[in-house]
Chains A and B, each alone.
Chain A
Amino acid sequence: MAAKRRSRGESLTLRYAVLGAWALFCVAPVLWFLSIGLRPRVEIITPQPIYWPTFSLDAWHMIWEDWPMAKYLRNSVAAIFGSVLIDLVLAIPAAYSLSRYTYRGRDDIGFYILSTRMMAPAIVAVPIFFLFKNLGLLDTIWALMLIYAAINLSFVTWIIRSYMLDIPRELEDAARTDGASDLRILWEIVIPAVLPGIITAAVIAMIFAINEFLFTLLIASTPDAYTMSVALANFTGGSDGVIYNAIALVAFLAFTPVFLVVVAIQRHLSRGLTMGAVKG
């Protein structure tokens, strides 16, 4: 007994060690650029290594006072949440249709949706520019919402579709004989059952959207539509040179909203798909 207990204790220590190492590996870059962001600029570009850095809020003051950072952050958050909302509104019914109804050309349509992700974005950059110019949407966050939604729609649809394929058909049959219409079934049975999939797709879409650079730069020409990713680029050129501490701090700020969202919903991410629905 004693031997057994000790071995269990050892394996627990080992488990924590492995998990701790992995956590450190993941968190280290974040802490690293946070530490860069909170140092004076001179200290960062000095050739000698500095083991005990000086704490400084220079960059912090600079990004808020010299730049409309709050506006950039607001633009990012609005464009991202708006685009994810558009994606979900379009992707959930599309995924349901692709996973549940049989009709001619269904699989081709599914493939077409996916294939929109297969070309290099630069190919459509010029047409997209003129499209939004004609729509009068250049330099607006509405355009960003639409473009992010368009970029992410294909994989959001496919992720949700794959979760829907895993829902036991019996659940929907039961709801139908209980008297529910198709929309009711989608709303009350299917969406709750694929909620982890919807959340997963939404989080991935957010991450892609916050990192989107090419189209944002194309569409946004003033701070009215600049986002965090374009803001980062503002610190790399110009007469001041590359402002590393500001870049690091802005990167950290861009990372924060997605991080908070993931923390808030991680319970759903790891939850079982259709717990207790059928014997499994």
Chain B
Amino acid sequence: MARIELSGIQKRWGDNFGVRNVDIDIADEEFIVFLGPSGCGKTTTMRMIAGLEDPSDGEIRMNGELMNDIDARDRDVAMVFQGYALYPNMSVFENIRFPLRMRGIPRARHGELVREAAELVELTDFLDRKPAALSGGQRQRAALARAIVRQPQAFLMDEPLSNLDAKLRQAMRVQIKRIQRELKITTVYVTHDQIEAMTLADRIAIMQSGEIQQIGTPDEIYNAPANTFVAGFIGSPPMNLVDGVLEGGVFRSPGIEVAGLPEQRGGQVALGIRPEDCSIDGDSEQAQGDSAPHLTGAVYGVEPTGDLTYVTLRVSGKLFEVKAHRNYRAALDSEASVRFDLERVHFFESKSGSRLQIG
């Protein structure tokens, strides 16, 4: 329905930057997720798209039209809030109908449109209730129906699932994705939950300290993180990052030695390897390499989760995480060796943290 372009967007409060130089081009019908820790500027960016916050610099365009001076109520976007923001004095029906009344849609069509939206979120049996008489999940669905009902140019969703319990969150996640695909409405979604970001997004924009660190598809972000922040933010447990020296195709750090790397780069680097790209000796289900192990350390903790086991090793005072088969067990402080999948090793510049292309 709408293409949204942000160029050079900044938000300042006095000398403090809330958002700094954000450039992003959101395609029509795209589902984009702003991901980042609290205070990274993701919600502020979304509020600027909604018109609830004025940018200090930069331009916001929808379908090419400059939006900076257009009031929130004239922007034709619908927002879903973390706290649902249902109007407490109105029934669910009246809540969903509210945007139709405000936008002057003919009264005769209200009933039908409200019912359609309620059907889409499976809320038709609760239309007469007040928000106070709904469960958390039902309130969330009512808020969603209110956003859907007038088929806006764009959906803006600000951590809509963070108040729900884990099971409900997963169910709602699937539902949101499904509805977005059916309605084909451009969606901007803010979250700090990487699973939500990975599962929902066409593209993810990872933010930190008001700046976008990387924009890409979930695969790009997972497979080729642009810097150590992104590498450490995506993945659970996050990528292991080890500082060391790369010289002549060999990476060395106390307790770690990785040979057989391309030789063209060298110097102080950070090596990154995801816990799922490591194999631990004694793990019967994983292939054992013939070569010397890349890392040896003392077992610091073993955490079985059911479908796999997290193993934490202590290597020269630092902790290193490995995902092992669910049957893997080891005594605390026993020695364990780990091999890396060399295809999946990442390198980052030590100083700037940016990704190094090697090989």
Q: Answer whether A and B are interacting partners.
A: yes
A interface residues with partner B (beta carbon < 8 Å): 168, 170-171, 173-181, 184, 188-189, 192-193, 195, 274-279
For B156, list chain A residues within 8 Å (CB).
177
A170-B83, A179-B103, A277-B87 given. 19 additional CB < 8 A pairs? A170-B85, A173-B79, A174-B85, A176-B51, A176-B73, A177-B51, A177-B78, A177-B156, A178-B78, A179-B102, A181-B73, A188-B98, A192-B88, A275-B130, A275-B131, A276-B88, A276-B131, A277-B83, A278-B86
Interchain CA distance A170-B132 in the complex, whole Å: 16
Binds A, one of B133-141, B189-197, B223-231, B347-355: B133-141
The residue that A184 contacts in the complex, of B77, B78, B84, B102, with Cβ under 8 A, is: B102
Residue in contact with B79 in the complex, picked from A177, A192, A193, A277, CB distance below 8 Å: A177
Is the CB–CB distance between B85 and A168 below 8 Å? yes
Partner of A279, one of B47, B50, B83, B146: B83
Q: State the CA gap A65–B79 with chains docked (Å).
A: 66
What separation, in Å, do the CA atoms of A179 and B89 have in the docked complex?
A: 18
Chain B residues near A189 (CB, 8 Å)? 87
Partner of B139, one of A175, A188, A279: A279
A186 shortest CB reach to chain B, Å: 13
A181-B103 Cα distance, complex, nearest whole Å: 11
| Cβ–Cβ < 8 Å partners of A277 in chain B | 83-88, 131
- The closest CB in chain A to the CB of B83 belongs to A278
Binding site for A on B (CB under 8 A): 47, 50-52, 71-75, 77-79, 81-89, 98-99, 102-103, 130-134, 136, 139, 146, 156, 163
**B99 and A178 within 8 A (CB):** yes
**Contact among B81, B133, B134, B139 with A174 in the assembled complex (CB-CB below 8 Å):** B81
Residue pair B130, A276 in contact (C-beta under 8 Å)? yes
A276 touches B86 (CB 8 A): yes
* A177 and B88 alpha carbons, distance in the complex (Å): 17
State A175–B89 Cα separation when bound (angstroms).
13
Which residues of A lie under 8 Å from residue B51 when comparing CB positions?
176-177
Given A168-B85, A179-B99, A179-B103, the answer on whether A174 and B79 have CB atoms closer than 8 Å is yes
B42 → chain A, closest Cβ, in Å? 16
Q: Is there contact, CB below 8 Å, between A279 and B52?
A: no
A177-B77, A181-B73 given; A275·B83 CB < 8 A: no
Q: Which of B50, B73, B77, B132 has the most CB of A within 10 A?
A: B73
- Partner of B84 from the list A176, A179, A278 (CB cut-off 8 Å) is A278
Residue of B nearest to A274 (CB): B88
Contacts of B75 in A (CB 8 A): 177
- Contact in complex: B72, A176 (CB < 8 Å): yes
In the complex, what distance in Å separates the CA atom of A192 from the CA atom of B146? 19
B87 touches A171 (CB 8 A): yes
What are 19 A-B residue pairs whose CB atoms fall within 8 Å in the complex? A171-B85, A171-B87, A173-B79, A174-B81, A176-B51, A176-B52, A177-B78, A178-B73, A178-B78, A179-B73, A180-B73, A275-B130, A276-B132, A276-B134, A277-B85, A277-B86, A277-B88, A278-B85, A279-B83
| Chain B residues whose CB sits within 8 angstroms of the CB of A179 once the complex forms | 73-74, 99, 102-103
Task: Assess A177 versus B72: contact at CB under 8 Å? Given A168-B83, A275-B88, A279-B163.
Answer: yes
Contacts of B132 in A (CB 8 A): 275-276
Closest A residue by C-beta to B162: A279
A274 to B74, CA, bound (A): 27
- Residues of the A chain whose Cβ atoms lie less than 8 Å from the Cβ of B134: 276
**Given the complex, which residues of B lie within 8 Å of A168, measured CB to CB?**
83, 85
Q: Which residues of B contact A195 (CB under 8 A)?
A: 89
Which chain B residues border A180 with CB–CB below 8 Å? Answer: 73, 98, 102
- The 4 A-B pairs with the shortest beta carbon distances in the complex, nearest first, are A276-B132, A278-B83, A179-B102, A192-B89
Contact of B146 with A178 in the complex, beta carbons under 8 Å:
yes
CA distance A179 to B104 in the complex (A): 9
A188 cross-chain contacts in B, Cβ below 8 A: 87, 98
Contact residues in A for B136 (Cβ distance below 8 Å): 279
Query: Which residue, of A174, A195, A276, A278, has the highest number of chain B Cβ atoms within 10 A?
Result: A174
Q: Specify the chain A residue showing the minimal Cβ separation from B86.
A: A277
Q: Which of B47, B51, B132, B133 has the most chain A CB atoms closer than 10 A to its own CB?
A: B132
- Whether B52 contacts A173 by the Cβ 8 Å rule is yes
What's the least CB distance linking A150 to chain B, in Å? Answer: 31
Contact A175:B98 (CB < 8 A) given known A193-B89, A275-B88, A276-B130: yes
CA distance A195 to B47 in the complex (A): 29
Name the residue on B nearest A174 (C-beta): B85
Q: Is the CB–CB distance between A178 and B88 below 8 Å?
A: no
CB distance from B168 to the nearest CB of A (A): 12
- CB-CB < 8 A to B83: which residues of A? 168, 170, 277-279
A265 → B minimal CB distance (Å):
16
Q: How far is the CA of A180 from the CA of B73 in the complex (A)?
A: 6
